[in-house]
Amino acid sequence: MKAQLGLRRAGFDLYPTRSPGSVTKLMMFRPLHRLAVLSLVAGVLLTRPVGSAPGGQSRVAGFDAARLNRLDVLIQGHIDRGQLAGGVLYLTRDGKTVRNQPYGWLDTGAKRPMQPDAIFRIASMSKAITSVAVMILYEEGKFMLHDPVSKYIPAFKSSQVAVAPGPDVPAGTPFVTVPAKRPIQIRDLLTHTAGLTYGDGLAVELYKKAGLHGWYFADKDETIGDCINRLATLPLHGHPGEAWQYGYATDVLGYLVEVVSGQPLDRFIEERICRPLKMVDTSFFLPLEKAGRLAPVYGVEKGALVLNETVEQSDYVKGPRKCFSGGAGLLSTAQDYGRFLQMLLGRGVLDGVRVLSPKSVELMHANHTGDLYRRDTSAFGLGFWVNQDPGFFGELGSEGAYGWGSAYYPQYFIDPKERMVGIFMTQLRPAGSLDLNQKFKVMIYQALVE
């Protein structure tokens, strides 16, 4: 209807006709100018959502509008098929906002459309922010990255490692412990090579008894310091520096920030990262006046979209508000998180505000793990996968790009070579076999033509 109204305003009368396949087409008569007809028809055929190629341009910031529209179609298709409630796509290049585009529904039951300022649980996307907090303190000379973490958190002084029992151990013994070959270093925590999982491994039952199994801390009625000091008494699941294992490492870093700075993690992140970068909607727990903007959590179960967590059920609104998980506890919006990523793309500065030095940001997306990380890419930095070898990665991307994602399905990337940031925010857990959060990156790259 908007397209028809635009044509009428330009001086054309329209009437609908139907093809044999019952697809409605627009037929035009009494044109004022034949060339104008052709131009406007092209505009109708390349219908674009808000945020793409303003002013009828075919390109914006080097993106082909028609090709970028393929991503809109892909996302909307998932919504139409009941595989996704809604989401927000945020894309910038050369500091220009190419997309800040909502899709679908914030709340399907209430038929509330998704909004650009919707607030999402970002889970492991918190890790990048906590890692930057660590690097801020590193730049202030508070520690060296090779320092043992036990220098600041003494409970880690005598770490043990769970290993498989030998033949001389009684049958049924799940594991034995041996002293760690070396202490956990701060750098090990940043690279997930500290021997810390999310409790899974040979000593899983000990972790469960300690209330430390899984990444979720928002419901805990204790501080992150209480949790980390208890964690330090449990055996590691690998020797520090020998394997890439995803887990509590960044939560330990969050507590390290508290110990070294003398501030609670929420206050440090607010004062040193969020406020300077004008990230006005990023926090560990949600102010009650913002609760209406929190996206409910949906999941795909048995092929159908189901509601798994309402705002009223959320610990981020109703919980104890005590445990600040640096590894998975933050809430944010696409635009807020986009500003954080833009700071990293800008080599530590955004809008004249410097958070880190260029050399620190450069260090963060170097390969720190050798060949220990062989998942999405072949390299891992200080908090991110790093696309060091696009041939190994095997999908569209750029050498030197880096990023991560979230248990709730969002993904992000930073591409220094193409001067680009991309985020797809949503709340989908479980996601089944859906790979939209990976395809959105491919669809962005295929639309980049300049």
Mind listing the pLDDT tens digit for each residue in 66-83? 999 999 999 999 999 999
Query: In this predicted model, what pLDDT tens digit does every residue of 120-164 receive, in sequence order?
Result: 999 999 999 999 999 999 999 999 999 999 999 999 999 999 999
For residues 158 and 208, state if they share a domain: yes
For residue 150, tell me if it sits in a domain. yes
Q: Which residue, 88, 49, 58, is CA-closest to 293?
A: 88
- Cβ–Cβ < 8 Å for 153, 225: no
Q: Where are the alpha helices (DSSP H) in 238-285?
A: 249-261, 265-269
For residue 314, tell me if it sits in a domain. no
| Residue 116 preceded by cis peptide, ω within 30 | no
For residue 202, tell me if it sits in a domain. yes
For residue 189, tell me if it sits in a domain. yes
Count of structural domains, the chain: 3
> Of residues 351 and 50, which shows the higher confidence score?
351
Residue 58: pLDDT band with limits 50, 70, 90: confident
For residue 411, tell me if it sits in a domain. yes
For residues 136 and 193, state if they share a domain: yes
Query: In this predicted model, what pLDDT tens digit does every residue of 222-247 receive, in sequence order?
Result: 999 999 999 999 999 999 999 999 99
**What pLDDT is attached to residue 172?**
84
For residues 137 and 181, state if they share a domain: yes
For residues 188 and 299, state if they share a domain: no
pTM for the full predicted model: 0.87
For residues 242 and 295, state if they share a domain: no
For residues 19 and 158, state if they share a domain: no
CA dihedral 110, 114, 116, 117 (to 10 degrees): 30
For residues 440 and 334, state if they share a domain: yes
Measure the CA–CA gap between 437 and 232, rounded to whole angstroms. 34
Domain that holds residue 40: 2-45
> Mind giving me the DSSP string for 17-50?
EE-TT--EEEEEES-S-HHHHHHHHHHHHT---T
**What pLDDT is attached to residue 345?**
98
For residues 288 and 224, state if they share a domain: no
For residue 155, tell me if it sits in a domain. yes
Residue 359: pLDDT band with limits 50, 70, 90: very high
For residue 84, tell me if it sits in a domain. yes
For residues 77 and 221, state if they share a domain: no
For residues 90 and 144, state if they share a domain: no
For residues 138 and 109, state if they share a domain: no
Q: Say which CATH number the domain at 150 has.
A: 3.40.710.10
**What pLDDT is attached to residue 38?**
36
**What pLDDT is attached to residue 47?**
34
For residues 292 and 385, state if they share a domain: yes
Least confidently predicted of 5-14, 111-120, 197-206, 356-365: 5-14
**What pLDDT is attached to residue 366?**
97
> Mind giving me the DSSP string for 103-124?
EEEEETTTTEEP-TT-BEE-GG
